[in-house]
Amino acid sequence: MKIIKRSGAEVEFDKEKIVVAIKKANDSVNDSQKLSLEEIQEIADAVTRSCDDMCRSANVEEIQDMVENQLMKYRAYEMARNYITYRYRHALARKSNSTDDQILSLLECNNEEVKQENSNKNPIVNSVQRDYMAGEVSKDITKRLLLPEDVVEAHEKGLIHFHDSDYFAQHMHNCCLVNLEDMLQNGTVISETMIDKPKSFSTACNIATQAIAQIASSQYGGQSISLAHLAPFVQVSRDKLRREVRREMEVLDIDVSDEKINQIAEMRVKEEINRGCQTLQYQVITLMTTNGQAPFITVFMYIDEVPEGQTRDDLAMIIEEMLNQRIKGVKNEKGVYITPAFPKLIYVLEEDNIYEDSKYYYLTKLAARCTAKRLVPDYISEKIMKELKGGDCYPCMGCRSFLTPDRFTDVGVGNIANANNYDEHKHKYYGRFNQGVVTINLVDVACSSEGDMYKFWKIMDERLEICHRALMCRHNRLKGTLSDVAPILWQDGALARLKKGEPIDRLLFDGYSTISLGYAGLCECTRYMTGKPHTDPTATPFALDVMKYLNDACKKWKAESNIDFSLYGTPLESTTYKFAKALQKRFGIIEGVTDKNYITNSYHVHVTEQIDAFDKLSFEAQFQALSPGGAISYVEVPDLQDNLDAVLAVMRHIYDNIMYAELNTKSDYCQVCGYDGEIQICEDQDGKLIWECPNCHNRDQDKMNVARRTCGYIGTQFWNQGRTQEIRERVLHL
């Protein structure tokens, strides 16, 4: 059995340290109030059993809480008071310089919590360590100086989660839709170097990847680009290649027809599309941003985003090549093709590709094959999205965060970003962004109410007010930010073309950007309040009422401030474990509610619940419609590489029923024995969940490649114990 120290390091549990601590407290009281050695041993044994029952590594604070509870149980009140006072004094001493131990443990690579914090960051490499070190300083400054005490307290207790506090000290926003069209068509600046309009498709792809890296280093969330913005450059290359072929034929004195010249040029066009797509895939994977990881980039593939004709056919060729290259995968250090985490791909299902007699149905079949092999693309239903988003279809910003429908164009606010491609007759999405996220823990609201419905809504109001003030802290932190802090974003076209020294304030209002109220644990919240899962028809109305209540709060705040607050289905990663531990500490183990080391993402059906793929997507669609700031649904499926009809059936169901969904398959490789099936999760002798090859029983994570959908995107660097348990307990829906 292990424990996690305050520094984050994981060490062996030592019962004798508990005995020594209690003896020291025992020495501080009169003889009449002292415990016997037998009683001290009994307390240490009880704490040991409690730690063992947790099925995870307890941290020092939790163990000290257990000791306090046991002292109270033995009526050693004076000793308990002294013990609490001792803890408080030492906590104050630690608070005066709270970052040293954390930073040192990062440098020594023994901070277990940080190791498992982000499933796409390797905490051993210097660039990641540098980012984490800066993050520890930012967290410390944020907690001590930048946030109100009650917001910090609510965050630390797990009542809310103030996301990305490791970046809050800087004036940075969350995620965005890159206006790549403006940057490519009208020029941009990267690292103080003027970049003109590219003269070929491959050059456009290269510029795009350089911009992606710069953007990722200037914000902390995901970004999305559209292949539609690259498609016009295929024709630029085509015209150029036709001229080159004609010139070559003339030099060689070969008389060829225009038709033959065009055929030769078209072959070279396809080669250039291959090179350009390869540039996008490999550079995105191999680029290292300043926060020590590949850019969190999503690539949008939407046929109808460009006019019918040659440009649309060119876009189809790009999509086809992107899918083919993703199916192939990338080589790991052993030279074996594996599944990369990025770029994330989104494929739009629409009239032109969903039916067998559709013009681009061949792309949909290719997408199905890619999903079965490599987990992506994910799917947006054009039909459902247009119903929910005012007739528009556009990508999310990263893994699931969606902008609100454009309202500033309709009310005449105009081109406040000074974009060179602004069209007053079209709704604008590219160039817009999200200001940040604060998440409410719905399970804690329920448990705090003790099942009293009146009390539940009263506590909900209190917690929402804390969230609102925390979100306004995010908004106010961005107010006054000058465009100079990130020129590629605010001056050179990615989001805007503001002047040097100009504040970004106008882009924070009128719906140009959004700010997100996240939520987590609707499933457990409903179970606690109704005694049934939210899939039960008698419990579903309560779950929907909670969603409507959260939306009403966002609408109220929006009306008061002209800021687009939007409800967001939080993609919990490390926070799922944090919330679960906090709930167990506050309320103990409640069956079906707090008995896991994770809580359920957003509105999702619990991962252990038996439900088929089609029913799950149809059920969750009603909640997705009430999560306008972002949400994604998934179905867990077995290996379907030999059953693409099943994949296509799910895709057609997505098209007809839900806006945004994905299929979760498995894509693993053991570097020791070459096994390429599913790497399993098992328990070691201490009860810790670990990954093991079922073929050779290799347990060395450095010698295996595991790819799992974590929370909207693919993770490849392994996960904390809470998320690992959640992955282990997922049932198949097909």
What positions carry a catalytic annotation?
Answer: 174-175, 397, 399, 401, 434, 568, 573, 712
Contact (Cβ atoms closer than 8 angstroms) between residue 342 and residue 297: yes
- Residue 398 CB-density burial (10 A; 0-12 exposed, 13-18 middle, 19+ buried): buried
DSSP 497-547: -PPTT-BSGGGGSTTSSEEEEEEE-HHHHHHHHHSS-TTSTTTHHHHHHHH
Token digits of residue 443: 């399970």
Dmax over CA atoms of the chain, in Å, equals 112
Exposure string of 208-244, with b = 16+ CB inside 10 Å and e = fewer, is bbbbbbbbbbbbbbbbbbbbbbbbbbbebbbebbbee
First vs last C-alpha separation in the chain = 37
Contact (Cβ atoms closer than 8 angstroms) between residue 432 and residue 494: no
Exposure string of 471-482, with b = 16+ CB inside 10 Å and e = fewer, is bbbbbebbeebb
Amino acid identity for residue 50 in this structure: S
CA geometry: angle at 636 spanning 631 and 642, to 5°?
125
Q: Which residue has tokens 């040029």? A: 265
Q: Which helix (DSSP H) or strand (DSSP E) does residue 714 occupy?
A: strand 714-715
Q: What are phi and psi of 568, to 5 degrees?
A: -135, 125
Token digits of residue 285: 């994977």
The rounded Cα 511 to chain-centroid distance in angstroms is 23
Identify the bridge partners of residue 723 per DSSP, sorted by sequence position. Answer: none
Q: Which helix (DSSP H) or strand (DSSP E) does residue 347 occupy?
A: strand 344-349
Q: What are phi and psi of 584, to 5 degrees?
A: -65, -35
* CA atoms lying within 13 Å on the CB side of residue 624: 28
Whole-number Å distance between alpha carbons of 710 and 108: 27
Give SS3 for 613. helix
> What HEC string does 115-164 produce?
HCCCCCCCCCCHHHHHHHHHHHHHHHHHHHHHCCHHHHHHHHHCCEEECC
Q: Which helix (DSSP H) or strand (DSSP E) does residue 709 occupy?
A: strand 704-709
Whole-number Å distance between alpha carbons of 159 and 448: 10
Whole-number Å distance between alpha carbons of 89 and 733: 52
CB neighbourhood size of 355 (10 A): 12
Helical pair 540-561 and 613-624, crossing angle rounded to 10 deg: 30
The rounded Cα 73 to chain-centroid distance in angstroms is 43
Which residues, including other chains, have CB under 8 Å from residue 380's CB and lie 6 or more apart? 302, 346, 347, 348, 349, 393, 395, 659, 660
Residue (of 579, 581, 577, 578) closest to 589 by Cα position: 581
CB neighbourhood size of 620 (10 A): 27
Contact (Cβ atoms closer than 8 angstroms) between residue 447 and residue 594: yes
Whole-number Å distance between alpha carbons of 520 and 518: 7
Give SS3 for 608. coil
Q: What are phi and psi of 719, to 5 degrees?
A: -140, 165
